[in-house]
Amino acid sequence: MKRILFVWVALLFGIYLNAQDFPLATMSELYDENPDVANCYEGKLKESEKQKAMQYLNYIRSFHNLKPVQYNSTYDKETAKSALINVANALLDHFPKSNYQCYTQDGYNGSTTSNLYLASALSPNNLPGTEKGMQSWIIDANVEDLGHRRNLLNPFLKYTSFGRVDGNSKTQPSYLLTAMSIKVHQFPDYHNLSDWTPEFIAYPYNDYPSAYVDPTWYLSFIVVADKNNIWNNDNKTVDYSQATVEVKDPSNNKLQISNLKYDYLGYGVPNCIYWKTSGLQKEVKYTVTISNVKVKGTPKTFTYWFRITDNPPSANLQPPTPLSPPDNATNVEIPVTLSWSQVSGAQFYALQVSQNSDLTNPIVDLKNLTTNNYTLSALNPSIKYYWRVAAIKDQQMSNWSQTFSFTTKDVPLTAPITITPLDGETNVDLKPTFVWTKVPLADRYHLQVCLDDTFDDFALIINQDNISDTVYTSATKFFPKTIYYWRVRSAKSTSYSNWSNVKTFWTLDPNTVEYEQNSQPNYILIDEPSKAFISLDISYAKSIMLYNIFGEKLNLSETIQRPNLIEIPYQKLTNGFWVLEIKTDDKIETKFLMIIK
């Protein structure tokens, strides 16, 4: 008696036991951690199995020209706990009672908003595959209102979450059961259908996989008259009271229609007309005409065709689902690795990343990725980025996925590194040129030069807070033979870095030293070895020094035999900014080099 009750309840909730079998699964294939129903533990379903459920659903939806759904892991606990309740109690209930075995509020929430599936299994190594649940829901055998089918074919449905549990029931321990739960209601938002052109959802439609049809059960048809509001498609908008349905074979023979019904229940779009058709066969093209449907008061006729086939065309290539970082993630550390679900049959993936929500002016625009992840290194801190992906096969690209966003973690500005004047340098020009390194993200620099190391206002010689470059030449003369202290910091908006290390320099004695002065730095571009020679009007050099961008010294004095023709060691230098300084007995000459390889 118990076994009869179990089968009746299972069929009521949409199991179709006689349809084409799908590959069986094992516990190790399904779970990272096996369920323990006896202790009310739902286990840990593999991410690949969750994605598989979504892909099966999108495969079915593609035959109806419906937008693909995206996976939303926020609800994974609800769907898993829902499946656990079903197995533990050996029954399906959309409103489980609090005294049920393994009852939780999450399980209740999942049960009230999901399609449910329950079936017996042969052994832990012979479990119903996830596609079996999807087949059951779309056929919806013995469910008179076709609620599961209508939920899956809801054009407004944008997200889903999937859970399953396999194990022995707590109330009937001799039964090894499989329960599945796929969420189809109560998501934060739904698809925007403003760009979706169909006016109806017919089942089956065009060439349709025979595995997902029971020809003796109901066919169905839904009108989508309002694409802005799902609830505006009820009986106030769509009227089937005078509708007729006609199904003809290729010879124009009418097939017998029976059990014609319609309702306005809230399973997906709140209208549906459905009927049974006698004599349907595989590989035969049938034409369906539905007449006298009043849509917003106007009678309309709809015509379409279908063929139940063992050889359906390849489904439209589905877009991947963005996985990580989660949508709207914040404080994401750089570098950021983007990942998305794999798409069966995809040869490549396309990826776009932009600071604009409409993905215009992308900073990444690739179409040749062979893996389902990509690492972004050249990102700025505290910036919101948007990204989306698509699948590519045979030079055809799927629709773009949902756009995800993330905000990178804020990184404090670093202090610049001072380059020149060097610490303790003497005979510096009376109109000094100050040089420091560039700081990423800085939009300006603050330079201070002072007569002492206190940097008090009364002793400041320079206090410039709006320098956009990393070079600054004083417009006024400094005192000769005087020690000065200088420092610089980077800035962005109202944020400042720490000050650089304080460095000192002495201005020259005008009575003893003649200094070659340039009002602007003399930049020399060296982008190939042939340009690495610099001619000077000198015959003797006391020292020849080269400074890299970090202020480190490279002494060329011992290698340069002819100071009037200096060869820069181009191959040894890295790309970037360098300073060449030549000292003689009576002058100092500085050259600013830009090395590009």
What are the tens digits of pLDDT across the range 532-541?
777 776 666 7
Q: Kindly report each contact of residues 551-558 with a partner whose C-beta sits within 8 Å and lies 24 or more positions away, as own/partner.
A: 551/417, 551/418, 551/419, 551/422
Residue 188, pLDDT score? 85
Same domain, 111 and 251: no
Tokens standing for residue 162: 């999937």
Q: Are residues 156 and 44 in the same domain?
A: yes
DSSP 38: G
Residue 337 pLDDT > 90: yes
Whether the pLDDT of residue 70 is over 60: the answer is yes
| Amino acid residing at 54 | M
List b or e across 492-503, with b for residues whose CB sees 16 or more CB atoms inside 10 angstroms: beeebbeebeeb
Q: Looking at residues 386-400, what average pLDDT do you find?
A: 86
Query: Which helix (H) or strand (E) segment is 533 a member of?
Result: strand 533-535
What does the pLDDT average to over 413-417?
91
Predicted local confidence at residue 551, as pLDDT: 53
Q: Which of 91-100, 110-119, 501-510 is the least confident region?
A: 501-510
CATH number for position 573: 2.60.40
Number of folded domains that form the chain? 5
Within 10 angstroms of residue 29's Cβ, the number of other Cβ atoms is 14
Give me the mean pLDDT over the 548-554 stretch. 59
- For tokens 């100071």, name the residue: 563
User: Does residue 253 sit in the same domain as residue 210?
Assistant: yes
Is 458's pLDDT higher than 90? no
Q: 533 and 567 share a domain?
A: yes
Residue 12 lies in a domain: no
Report the CATH number that the domain containing residue 334 is assigned in CATH.
2.60.40.10
Residue whose entry in the numeric block shows the structure tokens 């309740």: 85
Does 366 share its domain with 496? no
pLDDT in tens, 230-288: 999 999 999 999 999 999 999 999 999 999 999 999 899 999 999 999 999 999 999 99
> What pLDDT score does 317 carry?
75
Give a yes or no: residue 15 inside a domain: no
Residues 154 and 59 in one domain: yes
Write out the residue range of the structural domain in which residue 365 sits. 322-408
Q: What is the pLDDT of residue 499?
A: 95
Residue 555 inside a domain? The answer is yes
pLDDT number for residue 410: 83
In whole angstroms, what is the distance from residue 582 CA to residue 543 CA? Answer: 6
Q: Residue 579 above 60 pLDDT?
A: yes
Per residue in 112-153, pLDDT (tens digit) is 999 999 999 889 989 999 999 999 999 999 999 999 999 999
Same domain? 64 vs 171: yes
Helix and strand tally (H, E) in the chain? 7, 41
Cis status, amide bond into 198, omega within 30 of 0: no
> Distance between alpha carbon 330 and the CA centroid of its chain, in Å?
13
Confidence grade of residue 589 (pLDDT, cut at 50, 70, 90): confident
Residue 297 and residue 233 share a domain: yes
13 found inside a domain: no
**Residue 317 is assigned to a structural domain of this protein:** no
Our CA angle for 222, 225, 228, nearest 5°, is: 115
**How confident is the model at residue 441, as a pLDDT?**
81
Q: Band of the pLDDT at 597, cuts 50, 70, 90?
A: low
Same domain, 70 and 163: yes
Rg (CA), the chain: 37
Average pLDDT over residues 180-200: 91
For residue 58, what is the domain's CATH number?
A: 3.40.33.10
Say which CATH number the domain at 296 has. Answer: 2.60.40.3780
Q: Which of 308, 337, 364 is the last residue of a domain?
A: 308
Could you tell me if 63 and 142 lie in one domain? yes
The pTM for the full model equals 0.57
Decide if 193 is inside a domain.
Answer: no
Task: State the pLDDT at residue 346.
Answer: 86
What backbone torsions phi and psi does residue 136 show, to the nearest 5 degrees? -60, -45
Mean pLDDT of the chain: 86
In a domain, residue 9? The reply is: no
Task: Taking residues 182-207, report their average pLDDT.
Answer: 91
Residue 188 neighbours by CB distance under 10 Å:
8
Report the alpha-carbon distance of residue 519 to residue 506 in Å, rounded: 19
| Same domain, residue pair 424 and 503 | yes
Domain for residue 298, yes or no? Answer: yes
Percent composition of the chain: helix, strand, coil (DSSP 3-state, to 5): 15, 35, 50
Please report which confidence band the pLDDT of residue 516 belongs to, taking 50, 70 and 90 as the band edges: very low
Dihedral angle computed from the Cα positions of residues 55, 130, 221 and 270, in that order, rounded to the nearest 10 degrees: -90
The whole-number average pLDDT for the span 528-554 is: 71
Give every strand in the sheet of 433-436, ordered side by side.
418-420, 433-436, 471-473
Question: Domain ends where: 386, 408, 430?
Answer: 408
Task: Please identify, among 247, 282, 308, the residue that sits at the C-terminal boundary of a domain.
Answer: 308
Top pLDDT among 577 and 261 is at 261
354 and 468 inside one domain = no
